[in-house]
Amino acid sequence: MLLWGVVGLFALLSELEVLPTAWLSPTAEVEYVCQLLCVALTLGSVPVALRLLVLPKVKMQLEKNPACVVKWHKLRLVLMVVPMVFNLAVYYALASTTGPLFCLLISLAAFVFCYPSAYEAEEKSGK
């Protein structure tokens, strides 16, 4: 919940113009590079975060030591939060394109499926 709060607070402060917006010059090259980074980061981290726990190496480690599930869930959350914060920062830094906003929405939608429940953590750790 803290992660949603940080993203929401950042967006709210930017919308209220407490934080500066449009501070990056929107030249064609800058927009292209920023949008490319947003798309690459989103498409690189979201599928990995969603499929992390079923990768063979991770699955084998979880079978050997179920208590390390918390470590893997934290990694999944980091893989989801980094593109969210980056996309939000780029969206407000450029303020002239909606590409980063769409990447942010993809990350937020995927985050719903990636957020670990207390029941899942207890079940896998054997508590």
Give dist(CA 101, CA 95) in Å, integer: 10
Q: How confident is the model at residue 119 (pLDDT cuts 50, 70, 90)?
A: very low
**Does the residue 16 lie in any domain?**
no
% of the chain at pLDDT higher than 70:
89
Neighbours of 98 (CB within 10 A): 12
- Top pLDDT among 21 and 56 is at 56
- Classified as helix, coil or strand, 27 is coil
**Does the residue 92 lie in any domain?**
yes
**Does the residue 11 lie in any domain?**
no
**Does the residue 12 lie in any domain?**
no
* Amino acid 122: pLDDT: 52
Give dist(CA 52, CA 72) in Å, integer: 8
Q: Provide the residue range defining the domain that includes 111.
A: 2-6+26-125
Above 50 in pLDDT, residue 103? yes
Amino acid (one-letter) located at 21: T
**Does the residue 86 lie in any domain?**
yes
- Top pLDDT among 49 and 96 is at 49
Tally of domains in the chain: 1
Are 39 and 99 in contact by the 8 Å Cβ rule? The answer is: yes
Written as one string, the DSSP assignment of 71-106 is HHHHHHHHHHHHHHHHHHHHHHHH-S-SHHHHHHHH
Q: How confident is the model at residue 66 (pLDDT cuts 50, 70, 90)?
A: confident
The separation between the first and the last C-alpha atoms of the chain, rounded to the nearest angstrom, is: 23
